[in-house]
Structure 1
Amino acid sequence: MRKTILIIDDDTRNIFALSAVLRAKHFDCITATSAPEGIALLRSNQQITAVLMDIMMPDMDGYEAIKIIKNDVAIASVPVIAVTAKAMQGDETKILDEGADAYISKPVDVDKLLKVLSQF
């Protein structure tokens, strides 16, 4: 069965690149350019098997979005993988402490991303 990945990122270039890579590896992709839009898609689509969440977005950042997802019983079990350029010492720990299920730094290492996705 194909996995459906929700990509939430305010930069359409990142969405394009991630979607292209994942589709080539036989994933289905749904995209959102804001956290509120992504959360709405997640709530309305039970086929989503994982979320790739950008952390630094305007309006609502990934930290706030992850908290909302993990506090909503209907969608809390969907794994959220933070995909971010925040790669300073301590950032990964902070992101995981905020509720993300995994962390991938940008630029994305495709092999690492596929390995993480295979765990869910």
Structure 2
Amino acid sequence: MRVLVVDDDDIHLLILKRIFEKSNHLVVTANNGLEALKVLETDKGFSIILTDIMMPIMDGIEFLVHLKKNVVSSGIPVIGFTSGDVEYYRKMSPIAFDSLVSKPLDFFDLYNLAKLKVDTRMN
């Protein structure tokens, strides 16, 4: 599985990267939505994207909108996570996340959710 993790929190990036890499998955990280879009311009082989919602420069909702407009990246499942009100962000987002979960989160639960989304998409 190839994973793009987008978060402005370096600790979250490190933890998620280690959890996925422990299971031999390739992880690429970005610190905001704009940086993630730049990654996707050159690297199109991601199985799933995990993104924080509240980030500087480009937040997770704006990132999702740009991502889903692009034919190449529109089919990649996206899991959003936030320390804010999940229901508020569900209503605010013009495009639905494949899953939207709240922080603090169990990183292993997030790993299992990502694996489930990818496995479901492949079958």
Q: TM-score, normalised by structure 2?
A: 0.82
Q: Say whether the 8 Å CA contact 1:84–1:106 is kept in structure 2.
A: yes
Of the three residues 46, 63, 66, the one matched with 1:65 is: 63
The residue type equivalent to 1:45 in the other structure is D
- 1:20-99 pair list within 5 angstroms: 20-86=18-84, 88=85, 90-91=87-88, 93-94=90-91, 98-99=95-96
Q: Percent identity?
A: 27
Q: How many residues align?
A: 117
More helix by share: 2
Runs of 4+ off more than 4 Å: none
Runs (5+) with no aligned partner, structure 2? 119-123
CA RMSD, Structure 1 to Structure 2 (Å)? 1.9
Specify the SS of the correspondent of 1:53. strand
CA distance in 1, matches of 2:86, 2:110: 20
Residue 115 (structure 1) aligned with residue 94 (structure 2): no
Runs (5+) with no aligned partner, structure 1? none
Deviation at 1:89, TM superposition (A): 6.0
Specify the SS of the correspondent of 2:97. coil
Q: TM-score, normalised by structure 1?
A: 0.84
